[in-house]
Amino acid sequence: MSLDLFSAFIIGLLGSGHCLAMCGGITTMLTSAIDKPANLHTAKASDQGDIPVNVTSSQPSCSPYAFRLNLVFFYHIGRIASYCLIGAIVGFTGSIAAKNIGIPIAGLRLVAALFLILLGLYIGKWLLWLNRIEALGKGLWGYLSPMAKHVIPVDNRKKALALGALWGWLPCGLVYSTLTWALASGSSLTGANIMLFFGLGTLPALIALSLGIGSIKKLLVNLAFRKAMAISLIGYGIYSFTVAFQLIF
């Protein structure tokens, strides 16, 4: 595994406490809405999304627990697939910028390192500049979010997959920060792989939440743990910035 892919995985893992706020509502809703047949739930999936998601469930052919896991599994496949698509687009853009405009890849890595430092400050709640970056994606999200009505109620795998694919475009500072690494990769394939490993890094926290493992959630939202993760990201960002700076100068 290359250092970029490993770094993307670690960013997803360390930043996954933020994912609980952005995607946790969806995963909890998917797992809690199937306990009883013909049950109807309405949940506001995220503070950013503003999509009330009604989930009705009929009696599944498999056990409720297996059906629950299926929905969660396909939701995350859709979400990570969207990350990969965005990563490929951004990676291709980076390659065009490097070849046609002459922007050095090391220069793009400087930008990526700065965003990683900003991400650490954001997660530690010391500097919230990434909120402004998230605002840039709200226009596109405003166009995409109404599509949710076509996949609710979420009562089968295809709808869970589609909802995940849609939710992958939710404005998120954690995702945008990682996308700068995809941009600096200079390749659509590498950009997609970076976002794939980032998505895999976010899975442990969200899957643990789906399975009701409360201890994981408590750890991730613990103030001291969050600060430690934020400092780790800042430290790695400073290291990456130093390496990129030396490549340029």
Region of 213 (left: φ > 0; alpha: ψ -120 to 50; beta: rest) is beta
- The reported pLDDT for the residue numbered 14 is 80
Domain range summary for the chain, segments of one domain joined by +: 3-248
pTM of this structure? 0.82
For residues 224 and 189, give the distance between their C-alpha atoms in angstroms, rounded to a whole number. Answer: 37
Q: What pLDDT, in 10s, does the model give residues 64-101?
A: 667 777 888 999 999 999 999 999 999 999 999 888 87
Q: What ranges in the chain are assigned the alpha helix state H?
A: 3-14, 16-22, 24-32, 64-96, 105-123, 130-136, 138-144, 157-167, 173-185, 188-210, 214-221, 223-248
pLDDT over 70 at 174, yes or no = yes
For residues 46 and 39, give the distance between their C-alpha atoms in angstroms, rounded to a whole number. Answer: 21
- The reported pLDDT for the residue numbered 45 is 47
Q: What pLDDT, in 10s, does the model give residues 38-67?
A: 343 444 444 445 545 554 444 455 676 677
Residue with tokens 């933020």: 18
Q: Average the pLDDT over each of 43-57, 96-110, 118-132, 193-207 and give the range with the smallest value.
A: 43-57
Chain-centre distance for alpha carbon 95: 23
Look at 129 and 20; give whichever has higher pLDDT. Answer: 129
